[in-house]
Amino acid sequence: MRETVHVPLGDRAYDVLIGPGLLAEAGTLIAPLLPRQRVAIVTETRVAALHRDALRAGLADAGIEAVAMELPPGEATKGWAHLAQVTEWLLDQKIERRDVVVALGGGVIGDLVGFACAILRRGVRFVQVPTSLLAQVDSSVGGKTGINTAQGKNLAGAFHQPSLVLADTDVLASLSARDFLAGYGEVMKYGLLGDAAFFGWLEENAPAMAAGDMELRVAAVKRSVEMKAEIVTRDETEQGDRALLNLGHTFCHALEAATGYSDRLLHGEGVAVGCGLAFELSARLGLCSQEDPSRVRAHIKAMGMKADIADIPGDLPDAAGLLNLMGQDKKVVAGTLNFILARGIGQAFVTSDVPEDTVMSVLKDALRDK
């Protein structure tokens, strides 16, 4: 039950391996990349307690020695202070230009370590070993690395592709149901943005997948990664089509900012709510049928996830306040909000041509239900 998705980016091409048992084989899989039998692992304490020893054992089986560094868990780690700490630790460990660094963790670790590797000695290779569903289907693939700054999320960074991604689907068993489902928000997004048949497959199979069916998990991660790889290959540095991956994200970022990037709303939960709103907006603009947003929300509800703004606990700003937060999004180009809208399920497109009053009406109605 092992799948490989190739990301064909010329001299930066790499494979994403998906399936159970990959940590145990990490040594054999990483060895071909190494000039010497030594790697540095960067992880965070929660993930380390669960998976670091399995990774170390897998590396040791192939005779690879590993030094490891553990950072605190959580989004607050993804900043300048820990970027400096990781970079200087890698230098202290005498990681050379041709060595390989292993990022073991979720999106925070992958983004931070990837950025450290982009700047370390002007570019050192790294292997992503994503441990959350969100990281397996999104952040570990495609080479976006970076940190948050005082001004906002992901505002300093670099495109730096990994040399290999090992998405071990066994590790997903250690996620809480809520974290798994938050990652599922990004899986569902792929069906909605470009593959209606995949969305139909998810409507049928995602409940069993969330309950633990390994074959379904591998299939869902594989299709998601295939779609991401295809889009990234077309538009590596987001000059156009890569923005499709941000379906639901303009609404999501406003809701995340409004909830203080807190436990009230996880990123993937915001993506799911945002996808519903993006389809609602598309329907109101006459781009897709009114059944489409209803179908999207019905599936999100059926998965036991937050489907509407009304499901977010606590107070929120009014519609004008949320619209203002959307204006802070980094996808604003020359002051115009860029939206990902859809002509139907699986038919998303990027546009800046969205009347503000229609966005306001979608937000007002969603807040009225709260």
Q: Between the CA of residue 347 and those of 106, 234, 244, 245, what are the distances in Å? A: 29, 17, 10, 12
Contacting residues for 155 by C-beta, under 8 A, at least 6 apart: 146, 148, 149, 330
Shortest Cβ 142–ligand GLY spacing (Å): 4
Shortest Cβ 45–ligand GLY spacing (Å): 25
Widest CA span of the chain, in angstroms? 62
H-helix segments, 120-176: 133-134
Q: Is 242 one of the catalytic residues?
A: yes
The residue behind tokens 């966005």 is 359
| 251 closest CA partner among 345, 134, 353, 367 | 367
Annotated catalytic residue within 238, 264, 284, 301: 238
Annotated catalytic residue within 25, 38, 44, 186: 186
Take residue 331 and report the two structure tokens written for it.
Answer: 């996808």
Residues numbered 110-149 forming contacts with ligand GLY, rule: CB under 6 A: 138, 142, 144
Binding status of residue 82 toward ligand GLY by CB under 6 A: no
Annotated catalytic residue within 78, 144, 295, 297: 144
Annotated catalytic residue within 160, 222, 242, 306: 242
Q: Is 370 one of the catalytic residues?
A: no
**What is the length of the chain?**
370
Annotated catalytic residue within 222, 246, 299, 306: 246
Residues numbered 21-80 forming contacts with ligand GLY, rule: CB under 6 A: none
Binding status of residue 162 toward ligand GLY by CB under 6 A: no
CB nearer to ligand GLY: pick between 43 and 246: 246
CB nearer to ligand GLY: pick between 18 and 30: 18
Binding status of residue 245 toward ligand GLY by CB under 6 A: yes
| 267 closest CA partner among 137, 122, 82, 112 | 137
Binding status of residue 308 toward ligand GLY by CB under 6 A: no
Q: Nearest-5° angle of CA 101, CA 106, CA 107?
A: 90
Residue number closest to ligand GLY, CB atom:
245
CB nearer to ligand GLY: pick between 229 and 316: 229
Binding status of residue 242 toward ligand GLY by CB under 6 A: yes
Q: Between the CA of residue 194 and those of 21, 144, 190, 350, what are the distances in Å? A: 30, 21, 6, 12
| 270 closest CA partner among 243, 249, 240, 294 | 249
Q: Is 228 one of the catalytic residues?
A: yes
Distance of alpha carbon 370 from alpha carbon 310, whole angstroms:
4
Distance of alpha carbon 304 from alpha carbon 55, whole angstroms:
33
Take residue 307 and report the two structure tokens written for it.
Answer: 């489907």
Residues 52-63, buried b or exposed e (16+ Cβ, 10 A)? bebbbebbeeee
Shortest Cβ 153–ligand GLY spacing (Å): 12
Residue 170 CB-half CA count within 13 A: 14
Residue 47's identity, in one-letter code, is V
CB nearer to ligand GLY: pick between 227 and 345: 227
Q: Is 25 one of the catalytic residues?
A: no
Shortest Cβ 106–ligand GLY spacing (Å): 13
Shortest Cβ 242–ligand GLY spacing (Å): 5
Q: Is 238 one of the catalytic residues?
A: yes
Count of residues that bind ligand GLY according to CB under 6 A: 5
Q: Is 122 one of the catalytic residues?
A: yes
Annotated catalytic residue within 249, 295, 297, 306: 249
Q: Are 280 and 308 in contact (CB under 8 A)?
A: no
Q: Is 267 one of the catalytic residues?
A: yes
Residues with catalytic roles:
122, 144, 186, 228, 238, 242, 246, 249, 253, 267
Residues that bind ligand GLY (CB under 6 A): 138, 142, 144, 242, 245
